Amino acid sequence: MILKFRYEPEELKMLRFLHGRMRLTPKDYSHFLNLEKGFSGEKIFDELLEESPEEWTILHDLLFDYSNTFFQIDSLLITGDCIYIFEVKNYEGDFYIEQDRWYTAQTNTEVKNPLLQLQRCESLLRRLLQELRVKTPLKALLIFINPGFHLY
């Protein structure tokens, strides 16, 4: 059962309106496209989770403030046995990893390592759950939703 739905981010709405009325700077336009693509990928993943059993609890797009640190979780799935954190990426194209650094194969440009973001969220949520005395196991999963993504 979905208890919290995902809504279009305000920043994306604002950039969409601005893009329709003016020419965005190359940096803003790139950011706008990344937000659009990310939101689109998250919505595709949300549709896949809609097929989950009714007894599972699903929460989308969560923002936590724990220990004076903000962290965001794309989707959280709570079953009777486990709590799952899903970090959804809508990357497209060829990527490779070298010494824990991620690169695009086309331009050999370094990109942010999505595993670091996931590990940070997992660690902070685990600490929060421990503080709340929740003993349910926690698993974090990185989901690449785009079929045109390849990791080498």
Phi, psi of 56 (to 5 degrees): -85, 145
* Cα–Cα distance measured from residue 112 to residue 108, given in angstroms and rounded to the nearest whole number: 13
Residue numbers in the chain where pLDDT is lower than 70: none
β-bridge partners, 93: 149
The interaxial angle of helices 26-49 and 10-21, nearest 10 deg, is 130
Q: What is the pLDDT of residue 55?
A: 95
pTM for this predicted structure:
0.91
pLDDT at 23: 95
Q: What is the pLDDT of residue 34?
A: 94
| Tens digits of residue pLDDT in 55-98 | 999 999 999 999 999 999 999 999 999 999 999 999 999 999 99
What b/e string do you get for 83-113 counting C-beta neighbours within 10 Å, with b at 16 or more? bbbbbbbbbeeebeeeeeebbeeeeeeeeee
Are 86 and 121 spatial neighbours (Cβ–Cβ below 8 Å)?
A: no
